[in-house]
Amino acid sequence: MVVVSMALGAPGPVSAVRRANLSRRRCGPRVMMCAMAYSVPDLPYPYDALEPHISEEIMRIHHDKHHQAYVDKANGALAGTEWEGMPPEEILTRLDDLPEDLRDAVRDNVGGHYNHSLFWPAMKPEGGGQPGGKLLAAIKDTFGNFKVFKDTLRAAAMSQFGSGWAWLVDDGTRVFIVTTSNQDNPISDGLAPLVGIDVWEHAYYLQYENRRADYVEAWLNVVDWEAAQDLYAAAPRPDISDVLARSVSIAGTEKRFGDITLDDARTQSAELKALAGWGPMAKVGSIARGWSDLASTLDKHGAATVADLHAGIVVASAKELWVIPPGRSMV
């Protein structure tokens, strides 16, 4: 996997959290689904629904032949093993646990099945445009604006050498773009895929020949951002309830950090600024600025309280404001 863009630094420790969450979803003896082989899900629209952007011919071959082949090979590889029928998102996060002679087949074919199962519902007729709500806010946090994000996604799709995918992913604290080779999925690296573009030649050659850039533009006209918003809303989040529950004093009144509003942040900033001139209070000035930054962030995101903000922003603010006390080395 290649991280194409991640304006806000390296992924946090959340991948371990996500791994634990996923592996908790085990197949019990009463969950009969687990013993069933994989199958190709129906398209959520007719084969010709994405015309003229993606042709009916491509959709028929891509869905009925290519996806079916991944399903058949995945079922063949896993038949009779303890891994048979295990949900793809679980097996793909446990590649290291697989016997070596199964690993490549799983990566390619369970990966192929999972990737394409994400791909079909990530498109729709009359798609395109841009997402709204919290996903748009998260995209702006990372990329500044939607145009920069779209340009980066295009560049990622073009940069993947040979077969693979470009993805918008979420690590639990922020969104960013990665590419994967072959049928690898970002979930194997602890990241939640929100939307991915298939840049295998089989996805476009019949209609666009070698013009991958034209295909990427066409795909941007059918991508279903609402589906990505739903995946974003459902993506695992690190547990920050402890941070949200911490007590802070706003003008002498104790409040939970998660309940802090825009007005609270402004009030606290003003109070601390009044104290900031004192020599013994040298640190107060920077904390006052932290409160005024938090006020701007709440305002920019249209968030009623701190609890409505993205986890990564909540934790960063809590550190800046010493709601999470600095380590001893920092004092």
Q: Which residue is nearest to Mn ion (CB)?
A: 198
Instruction: Determine the interface stretch with Mn ion among 32-40, 202-210, 252-260, 286-294 (rule: CB under 5 A).
Output: 202-210
What's the rounded Cα separation, in Å, for the pair 183 and 193?
13
**By CB under 5 A, what part of segment 12-41 binds Mn ion?**
none
Nearer to Mn ion (CB atom), residue 25 or residue 65: 65
Contact flag: residue 291 with Mn ion (CB under 5 A): no
Nearer to Mn ion (CB atom), residue 143 or residue 200: 200
With helix as H, strand as E and coil as C, how does 244-273 read?
HHCEEEECCEEEEHHHCCHHHHHHHHHHHH
Q: Which of 38, 149, 167, 200 binds Mn ion (CB under 5 A)?
A: 200
CB of 62 to Mn ion, least distance (A): 6
What DSSP character marks residue 129? S
Q: Rounded to whole angstroms, what are the CA distances from 175 to 11, 37, 127, 304, 324?
A: 10, 33, 21, 22, 23
Instruction: Determine the interface stretch with Mn ion among 100-108, 148-156, 203-211, 261-269 (rule: CB under 5 A).
Output: 203-211
Supply φ then ψ for residue 47, to 5 degrees: -60, -30
Q: Rounded to whole angstroms, what are the CA distances from 211 to 60, 216, 244?
A: 20, 9, 49
Instruction: Determine the interface stretch with Mn ion among 100-108, 147-155, 200-208, 304-312 (rule: CB under 5 A).
Output: 200-208
Contact flag: residue 198 with Mn ion (CB under 5 A): yes
What's the rounded Cα separation, in Å, for the pair 197 and 167?
7
CB atoms within 10 A of CB 44: 13
Instruction: Determine the interface stretch with Mn ion among 126-134, 179-187, 194-202, 247-255 (rule: CB under 5 A).
Output: 194-202
What residues make contact with Mn ion under the rule CB under 5 A? 198, 200, 203
